[in-house]
Amino acid sequence: MNRQRLVVKIGSSSLTTNQGALSMDKVTRFVQAIAKLKQDGHEVIVISSGAVAAGFKAIGYPSRPVTIAGKQAAAAVGQAMLMQAYIEQFSIYNLTPAQLLLTRQDFSDETRYGNAYSTLTELLKRNAIPIINENDSTSIEELTFGDNDMLSALVSGLIHANTLCIMTDVNGLYDANPQTNPLAKKINYLPYITEDLLALAGDSNSKVGTGGMKSKVSAAQTALTLGVNVFIGKGDQPETFIDILSGKGDGTYIGSFQYEAVMQKTKQWIALHSTSSARLTIDEGAEHALLYRGKSLLPVGIVKIDGEFTAGNVIEVRNRKGSIIGKGKTNITVQELKKLQEQLQENDKTQKYKQPVVIHRNEWVPNIKETMK
């Protein structure tokens, strides 16, 4: 089996007892399975839920708190408990875990996004096991990932993983709800995510987790768009992840599994995390050149400018119908673009001369929402 880079996302329900406390037995089994991957030469990044579930009982809550303050307090205690459990168990195999707590802001800021990539790359180079969680103690609702499923998808793209394994307490996807429909059939393989499947996926039934099957399907859709294959299922035995890689996992495989090139880091940031400063409307010729010919955007194809921007800003690009076709980084300022357009109006637009690039094709990304349909 070829060496692979995996992101393993472990949900709260897979790490806790029925009462919501951290289960050392479950942690031990997952660590054993991850250690087996490392022994076989694979690289592993872990996205681990369980901080809130692990911490709330330690500070006197009888059940998982519902207030933001209560959840953040429980996470502050539980994150330390969770990492201590990982440190103790990985030490048995002479493996070193490394903690990273990320927020949505770490992804929306391009410099911090690059720093996260550099840190993860160096940790893997040093044979450490990055264990990532959202910084639940300080994150505010408007700036969260929503759940660790989406965080795992974004990390898998960032780090150019081959496969994302989303581990849960259900053995994959079904064509109906297996808890209410005894005739529901398990789906073993999907080449891509359909809108019908997104609509079918329900919410979480777990009292200790935040992400239901719908969030896992949405995360899988994002990961596929970034070039990462996905497995959704269950298992906590020593051979669990080896079985997944060999096609024998207890769950659903999603993707081509041809290990196509992952979207470049800069393009991932532009597509998923950047904020647009302004909007450009382009004509049909420029639209065709951008979407189908791999060309850069030139001033001659721009018919309308909305907003202000400077060189290096990310701007949204629309066609004449008003549909967003993508976005990218500008090489020039809005003032420079307007001056260039004035010059074009004064001269024959069909005259051939070198025009400065407004958005270079290496910093242009088609609308990722359209590619996920």
pLDDT band for position 355 (50/70/90)?
A: confident
222 class by beta-carbon count within 10 Å (0-12 exposed, 13-18 middle, 19+ buried): buried
Domain identity same for 262 and 281: no
Domain identity same for 123 and 211: yes
Domain identity same for 259 and 301: no
For residue 339, give the CATH number of its domain.
2.30.130.10
Percent of the chain with pLDDT over 70: 88
Q: What is the mean pLDDT of residues 210-237?
A: 87
343 forms bridges with which residues in the sheet? none
For residue 166, give the CATH number of its domain.
3.40.1160.10
Of 249, 266, 283, which residue sits at a domain end?
A: 266
Q: With CA atoms as reference, report the closest residue to 131 among 153, 171, 85, 98.
A: 98
| Residues 167 and 31: beta-carbon distance below 8 Å | no
pLDDT band for position 65 (50/70/90)?
A: confident
Tell me, what's the pLDDT at 345? 77
Tell me, what's the pLDDT at 373? 44
Range of the domain at 63: 5-266
Domain identity same for 189 and 262: yes
| Residues 245 and 36: beta-carbon distance below 8 Å | no
pLDDT band for position 371 (50/70/90)?
A: very low
Q: What is the mean pLDDT of residues 109-129?
A: 96
Please tell me the least confidently modeled range out of 104-113, 195-204, 301-310: 195-204
Q: What is the mean pLDDT of residues 118-141?
A: 85
Q: What is the mean pLDDT of residues 245-257?
A: 91
**Whole-prediction pTM:** 0.83
Runs of H (alpha helix) within the chain: 24-39, 51-55, 68-91, 104-108, 110-125, 148-158, 195-200, 213-225, 240-245, 265-272, 284-292, 334-346, 368-371
Buried b (16+ CB within 10 A) or exposed e, 251-281: bbbbbeeeeeebbebbbbbbbbbbebbbbbb
Domain identity same for 52 and 196: yes
Domain identity same for 229 and 325: no
| Residues 129 and 38: beta-carbon distance below 8 Å | yes
pLDDT above 70: residue 187: yes
Looking at the 3D structure of the chain, how many domains does it have?
2
Of 266, 283, 311, which residue sits at a domain end?
A: 266
Q: What is the mean pLDDT of residues 250-263?
A: 78
Domain identity same for 185 and 290: no
- Summarised one tens digit per residue, pLDDT across range 277-328 is 999 999 999 999 999 999 999 999 999 999 999 999 999 999 999 999 999 9
Domain identity same for 70 and 179: yes
Domain identity same for 280 and 262: no
Tell me, what's the pLDDT at 204? 44
Domain identity same for 127 and 37: yes
Tell me, what's the pLDDT at 368? 66
Please tell me the least confidently modeled range out of 145-149, 159-163, 254-258, 313-317: 145-149
Of 266, 287, 307, which residue sits at a domain end?
A: 266
Q: What is the mean pLDDT of residues 335-355?
A: 75
Tell me, what's the pLDDT at 343? 83
Q: With CA atoms as reference, report the closest residue to 32 among 91, 98, 78.
A: 91
Domain identity same for 288 and 244: no
pLDDT above 80: residue 200: no
Domain identity same for 254 and 292: no
